[in-house]
Amino acid sequence: MTLNFLNKARTAAAPVLLMGLCLTGLPAFAQDCEIKLGTVGPMTGGGASWGLSEKAGVEFEAAYVNANGGVQVGNRKCKVKVVAVDGLSTVAGGAAASNYFASEKVFAINGPVLSTEITGFKPVSKRNNQVNFATGFAKDVIGPDFPLAFHKIQSPPAWGPLVAKTAKERFKLKSAVVLGPNDQGGTDAGTQLAKIYNDTGVKTGTEWYQRGTTNFGPIATRIMNMNVDAVDVTTMPPGEAGILIKQLLEAGYPGVFARLGAGGDVVIKNSGGIEKVKNFYWFDHVPTENPAIKKLTADFERLMKAPVPDNALVFNAQLAAETMLKAISLAGTDQDGEKIAVELRKLTPDSRYLGKAGWRGKGQYGINQEFSFPVGFNYIQDGKVGAQVKLDIPAE
């Protein structure tokens, strides 16, 4: 994967509550015909790059659709409006977001991102009849008890064994440690990842810390004493992961860093770039070097007049928003989550960029409401960037 992202400027931090994207210079729409898409994730704090990238992906899809005449709803063409809320990386933030969306009559939502936010959001959104595309790795991110919840990425059991095997062989790994916050956002996925590494033959333990930590000195010392071959920061917010890696490098850690989830490019940038982080493997939830994603990037930068965010979740947010708008068109309304969910289940996921995918999730969650778009494995070895490996994810 090319590292041109290392030269991009950071996007400015968003306010805690972001509402309504007003788009100018767009074609005429039916009078008073507007549909709303919500987006929720951490837009401040250490995980801000996750939430802001999701917001950017939804806003791009809204701008693209509006520039091309809007969404067909019945016999009218409707303008898309985006309502964005900071989920604050907390359970309470997720619950509050759902209630805020309900007050704004938003029933189709992209997010939440973090498992903590999802835990608070799910029961409230069920009462509010809201359909959503979540991002996190919570073990119960979707399931039969929450039929309006969909998943736009796959959790570690779907791709982890193949990625761990590839990393083990390339970097000759024998041992590792998985780090994460000591809440559901860290422990659910971190425990899954540790098991995957162990099953692959890489002896792996876990290390938990308090979310929001800014000094990882004591943890860095413990890791140095462990003498492990790899440090996996998958479930750490990108900002916090960057701090930890910097402190490990300052302490002289000689091993490999890993991030089997979104934000690898951001973590590398925050850690000093490839000249500092010489051995690193990471995972993107789309094959970012695919020509189709390059086309998406060009369309984004042309339409939004801004660089695409460093965090690759922007692409998954676009995929989910595109699919959600198709379902809204078929349902004939954006005001009924159940009707939208019915149409989603009938659809074959089909991106104008990546083409057709399918649904999966039955084996892991008991419900086929998870995208099966392909993913990408990236690595830096001895300071040199390797070619991205595209991995296909089977539908069920």
Q: What is the pLDDT of residues 170-219, one digit of tens each?
A: 999 999 999 999 998 889 889 999 999 999 999 999 999 999 899 999 99
Q: Tell me if 4-154+289-374 shares its fold with 156-284.
A: yes
Locate the domains of the chain by residue range: 4-154+289-374, 156-284
Is the model's pLDDT at 9 over the cut of 90? no
CATH class of 4-154+289-374: alpha beta
CA distance 177 to 324: 38
| 3-state SS assignment for residue 380 | strand
Is the CATH code 3.40.50.740 the one for domain 156-284? no
| pLDDT at residue 16, as a whole number | 38
- Say what the pLDDT of residue 83 is: 98
pLDDT surpassing 50 at residue 95: yes
Query: How far apart are the two ends of the chain, measured CA to CA in Å?
Result: 29
Q: Is the pLDDT of residue 124 over 70?
A: yes
Q: What is the pTM of this model?
A: 0.81
What is the predicted pLDDT for the residue at 18? 42
DSSP assigned state of 146: B
Does the pLDDT value for residue 84 go beyond 60? yes
The rounded mean pLDDT for the chain is: 90
pLDDT at site 27 = 59
Give 283-321 pLDDT, tens digit per residue: 889 999 999 999 999 999 999 999 999 888 999 999 999
Task: Tell me the C-alpha distance between 346 and 175, whole Å.
Answer: 44
Neighbours of 224 (CB within 10 A): 15
Strands (E), 211-345: 230-232, 256-259, 280-284
Mean pLDDT over 26-47 rounds to 86
CA diameter of the chain: 67
pLDDT beyond 60 at 153: yes
Would the pLDDT of 14 be above 70?
Answer: no
Judge whether 212 and 238 are in contact, CB under 8 Å: no
